[in-house]
């Protein structure tokens, strides 16, 4: 069955907009890490992460983001982004960063899944299916 034929147009577009926003923001974040922008390096070092790890972190984020952006691999991408953002949340909790950075990383993980579920409603039915 064609998912788009079953999904109301407004929900489908809302999912695309939410997912697109997540992809654009995370791609920007990844690129800023990869070019080692001074504020990113400083913030990362303040969290106790060595400067030498920033490039690798940026590459991992960009790869996860790209996998999420491709419709055929979006579910795998959402799983990978959940892991990445879970790690970011843990780092902020450990560093005592405060509520905003913790909530921000959690919110982006939630938005990634909301956007995906709005685009692929069968996914929610599969997750909620009782065995």
Distance, in Å, from the CA atom of 90 to the CA atom of 32, rounded to the nearest integer, reads 21
| pLDDT digit string, tens, across residues 10-36 | 999 999 999 999 999 999 999 999 999
Distance, in Å, from the CA atom of 130 to the CA atom of 1, rounded to the nearest integer, reads 21
Distance, in Å, from the CA atom of 83 to the CA atom of 76, rounded to the nearest integer, reads 11
The answer to whether position 84 is within a domain reads yes
The answer to whether position 3 is within a domain reads no
Count structural domains, the chain: 1
Q: Are 47 and 89 in contact (CB under 8 A)?
A: no
| pLDDT digit string, tens, across residues 76-110 | 999 999 999 999 999 999 999 999 999 999 999 99
For residue 50, give its domain range: 8-128
Residue 25's nearest CA partner among 118, 113, 131, 112 is 112
**pTM (predicted TM-score):** 0.87
């Amino acid at each position: 069955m064609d998912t788009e034929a079953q999904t109301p147009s407004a929900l489908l577009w809302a999912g695309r907009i939410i997912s697109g926003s997540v992809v654009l923001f995370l791609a920007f974040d990844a690129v800023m890490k990869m070019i080692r922008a001074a504020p990113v390096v400083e913030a990362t070092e303040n969290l106790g992460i060595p400067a030498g790890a920033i490039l690798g972190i940026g590459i991992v984020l960009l790869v996860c983001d790209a996998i999420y952006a491709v419709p055929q691999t979006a579910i795998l991408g959402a799983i990978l982004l959940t892991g990445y953002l879970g790690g970011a949340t843990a780092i902020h909790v450990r560093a005592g960063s405060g509520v905003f950075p913790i909530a921000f990383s959690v919110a982006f993980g939630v938005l990634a899944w909301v956007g995906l579920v709005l685009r692929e409603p069968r996914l929610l039915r599969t997750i909620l299916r009782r065995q």
